[in-house]
């Protein structure tokens, strides 16, 4: 099967499964990460097919959305089987996807190849900036989290289980994760884009907190 045919098959699968989700990890998030990853890849000269497939599929087995008894490895294998993605391409995609997530800052996995770094950069770019602000509140709302609670301070998480149990406010999420991402980008292409997006979030938070206190 030609590379473009594989991409189209994956796009159709994602559109069918994830188009109507309202938790900010939907089809459109996957497509934005895919487009970002391809742009970074072309600038940084990585393997475009590996990057494209890993970016498109990066959230299909996310730990936040697994059913009881499921594992990330098992769910991802099920999807890749259905899409008939095999061989060395599959092995590299699995490695990237299973080690991509931020996981409350507890993920210490470092990619030793450019493709993994590109996909992680693309995913994290879509977590910050104006899109990042919108996604944070969409996800928080889907989990019944308050926008802001001045009495609940941002936290540090010692492990993934502690991170999963956290149900703090969306504003806390900016300090617990989103504002920390700026210094963790691998590629020069992503680092340049991250500057503007990070600055937007800082300005948004200043305005939000002024309005919260009735000072603006």
pTM: 0.93
Local confidence band at 14 (pLDDT 50, 70, 90 cut-offs): very high
200: which 2 tokens?
Answer: 């937007």
Class for the domain spanning 3-212: mainly alpha
In the predicted model, what is the mean pLDDT of residues 60-86? 92
Task: Please compute Rg for the chain using Cα positions.
Answer: 18
At residue 1, the pLDDT reads 53
Tokens of 73: 């490895």
Encoded tokens for 63 = 């730990």
Contact call for residues 186 and 116 (beta carbons, < 8 A): no
Which tens digits make up the pLDDT trace of 95-128?
Answer: 999 999 887 777 789 999 999 999 999 999 999 9
Stretch 70-87: mean pLDDT = 94
């Amino acid at each position: 099967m030609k590379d473009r045919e594989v991409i189209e098959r994956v796009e159709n699968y994602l559109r069918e499964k994830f188009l109507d989700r309202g938790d900010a990890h939907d089809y459109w998030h996957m497509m934005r990460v895919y487009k970002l990853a391809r742009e970074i890849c072309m600038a940084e000269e990585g393997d475009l097919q590996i990057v494209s497939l890993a970016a498109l599929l990066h959230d299909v087995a996310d730990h936040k959305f697994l059913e009881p008894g499921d594992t990330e490895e098992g769910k991802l294998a099920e999807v890749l089987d259905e899409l008939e993605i095999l061989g060395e391409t599959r092995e590299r995609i699995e490695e990237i996807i299973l080690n991509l997530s931020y996981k409350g800052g507890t993920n210490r996995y470092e990619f030793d190849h450019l493709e993994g770094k590109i996909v992680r950069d693309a995913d994290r770019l879509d977590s910050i900036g104006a899109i990042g602000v919108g996604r944070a509140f969409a996800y928080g709302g889907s989990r019944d989290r308050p926008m802001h609670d001045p009495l609940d301070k941002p936290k540090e998480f010692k492990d993934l289980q502690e991170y999963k149990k956290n149900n703090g406010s969306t504003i806390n999420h900016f300090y617990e994760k989103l504002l920390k991402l700026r210094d963790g980008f691998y590629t020069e292409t992503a680092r340049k884009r991250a500057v503007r997006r990070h600055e937007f979030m800082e300005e948004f938070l200043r305005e939000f907190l002024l309005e919260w206190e009735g000072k603006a």
